[in-house]
Chains A and B, each alone.
Chain A
C-alpha cells in the first residue's frame, strides 16, 4: 500500500488511496524533477490521478494492469 519516496522517484505500491493525494502533491511540489514509478501500482484514486495530470511528472514505468495503464496513458502520455 502507499508510496515509497526515493531521491527523485516515487514508487507507488498496490493501491494509492485518496488520503495520499495531498502527500503526493506536496512531495511532487518539493521535487519538481521527480519521476513516478507505477509498475507496482494496482490502482490509484482519482485524486492522485488529478495530481499527476496537473503536475505532469515523468512516468518512469506504467502499471501492469492494461486497463489502468490505458486510462492513465489517455491522460498522461503525450
Chain B
C-alpha cells in the first residue's frame, strides 16, 4: 500500500517539485499551501503517514502548524519533517522542540528526500 505524504508549503514551485519527486518514488501526495489549509485537510479526513512542512508561510507558519497538527486525532505520533534551509538552524531546533521529528534541507533533490523519508518512516 503506498504511503501518503502531506506536503505543506506556500511556494507552489517547491510543492510541485516535491510532489513530483515523491510520486516518482511511489508515494501518494497531498498538498496544502499553508498551515490553515493543511489543518483543514487533516480534519477533512486526509490521513498521511508523514508530513513535510515549510516553516515560513503566511496565515499559519510551520511551527504553529506542527503544534496544531499534533493535537488532532490520529496525528500525535505522525512523523513530521520541517522543510528548512541551511541557514535556519534556530528554526530547525525550535521545530524539533515543538514536535517535529526532523528536518529536510532545501533545495532537496529527489534522492535525498526519499533517503530521509526512509529513515523516519518504517516500511517506506
Contacts and interface: CB of A to CB of B under 8 A. Distances in A.
Interface residues of B, number: 5
B77 A15 contact: no
Nearest to A15: B123
A42 B1 CA distance: 15
A19 B123 CA distance: 15
The main secondary structure of chain B at its interface with chain A is loop
A18 interface: yes
Contact of B77 (A1, A18, A43): A18
A59 B109 CA distance: 42
Contact of A43 (B1, B74, B122): B122
A31 interface: no
Interface string B91-124: 0000000000000000000000000000000110
A64 to B, nearest CB: 15
The main secondary structure of chain A at its interface with chain B is mixed
Interface in A3-27: 14-15, 17-19
A23 to B, nearest CB: 14
B3 to A, nearest CB: 11
A7 to B, nearest CB: 29
Contacts of A18: 77
Nearest to A21: B77
Interface in B1-56: 1
A45 interface: yes
Interface string A31-71: 00000000000110100000000000000000000000000
B77 A19 contact: yes
Contacts of A45: 122
Contacts of B123: 14-15, 42-43
A37 B69 CA distance: 35
Interface string B59-80: 0000000000000001001000
6 contacts: A1-B1, A15-B123, A17-B77, A19-B74, A43-B122, A43-B123
